[in-house]
Structure 1
Amino acid sequence: MSFDTGLLQAFIAVHQANGFTRAAEQLHLTQSAVSHQIRRLEERVGRPLFHRTTRRLSLTADGEDFLRHAERILQAQDALTRHFRCSPIEGTVRFGVPESFMSEGLPQLLRQFSRSCPNVRLEVSVGLTLDLATMVRERELDLAVVVSVSGTVEGALLRRLPMVWAAAEGFERSDDASLPLAYSPTPCVCRQVSIDALNKAGIPWHGAFSSHSLQDLRTVALSGLAVATFTRDNLRPGMAVLDERDGLPALPMLDFTLAYSEGDAGERSPAVVELGRLIEQAEWARQDKPARRSRRTLRAA
């Protein structure tokens, strides 16, 4: 058994308006047309849906049940229509994102955006060492997720995570030995922050490994060859967090901020606004993970 959505809409309108006259006005139909629709619906159902008196119109018990199902059907139809409606938005969106922000959620979100806005050409740049803040400022990108020391970049804050010294469990360093450091080439934020912290603390260090790949840095840290710095969500099993008890300076919080490039009139295109809205509302984009325990705690566990 199937039901014409027009009949369902008429049924709900009559119920909400508590009468045929007001429902007809809302539906832009004549009263007789609405009455005819309700009769057709009741014939289709095989049961009366309304109690009718000269003074009052109310739902029968079957009408109450039918109302719940009718509302669900129309809500589902509206959702389906919105999902597959072709968006009038068009143009090009240039989006930049650091490798450390990549997750399963981002490709799915970008696919969702491309399907809902098929007339928009999406250009995505991903990298660990891209100077995304400068690219946004110089309008080479329309929007980007920028990693920075907390509170230094304007935009929509997505995440704020602590930066950590990461090494293999069992990593040892004597107080006077040079610290082997693994980092990415400039303008990597983690590289500059860690070097500045070591220099300020008077701790000798040397570059033991350099790579544009975050995966390479994690692999080297796990091998015990060098110490790497990144946000805590990049820690993997087998890694230990070093801190002041290991003679290393504290590191700051890092922000992941969605920064926008502004046009001459300070305006953003509808396509940029839509992609930004999806990213800002995505739960995974704002997801923080609990801090992992320090090396000493891991050893004691």
Structure 2
Amino acid sequence: MFQKKLKQKIANIFLNNSNTRKELDHGQSFAFGGMQGWRISNEDIHKHLVPIDHHSWKLWSYFAIFDGHNGIDTAKYAADLLDKYLIDTLNQTGINSNDESIHSSQIDKNQLNHIIKKTFLQLDKKLANLVNDQSGSVCITSLIGPKYIYLINVGDARAIIISNDGQVLAYTKDHKPNVIQEQERIHKAGGRITQYENDVARVEDKLAVSRTFGDYSLDKRLIPALPDIIQYRKDSLAAFVILACDGIWDVMTNEQVALFVSQKASNTSLENIASQLLDQCLKLKTSDNMSIYIIKVFN
């Protein structure tokens, strides 16, 4: 029965021919590339603010990819609101873009992480009153300041920080039901994880990720919008930050993406690298929407 439903679902979400039209964008320090690919619709949303504003956060940049599923509403509203919620909360707490104030004795790393996590959870509650479909969304976000890079993830979109020679210096870890720590958390909350033949592990027979915005038909204690946060102090090694959805990571490893970007960076624009990487993933038979940011780090 499950196999029959799975085949029907696959037939309903894929095109007969891939849509290879690209969405490309770039700024002085970054490029974005996106492609619908084989999916019947594109449920990825991206957003960047460079700088975040021209006041308190003029020295910081914000990048985010929201990878929706079962509809677009959650990704769309989350993309519209997350940066506003995050910066408003930080401002209300008395934190501004001065790195010294963020890391002074008044507020340490744990306090900042608590604020970010609280903001994500509050936004998820807000979205429950806005979303009109059965959708959910994972999210990968980066805040880049004068001294620090923050990588913030919910779900299986991922970010890496790499060097000029392609070393992976830092990376986020996916939130999936096959991860031991996630399994233990879900079971402790009373949830169930199943995996059938020719399918991935799922929460309550439904969800292939274990933390999301939205997906309100499931118990949110099982799939909270609770992010993990990596703080990386800028150093001479950090050259690029790369954010991408699982349409990229399903067919390329962190190391493969790092080498792909680093080997082309000296003589190819970031926009062309992003475009070529989309083509490469399509050749590697990715079946999902694709979105990627490549961001140059200035130390």
Name the TM-score class by shorter chain.
under 0.3
- TM-score when normalising by structure 2: 0.21
Whose helix proportion is higher, 1 or 2? Answer: 1
Could you say which structure has the greater relative contact order, defined with CA pairs below 8 angstroms and 6 or more residues apart? 2
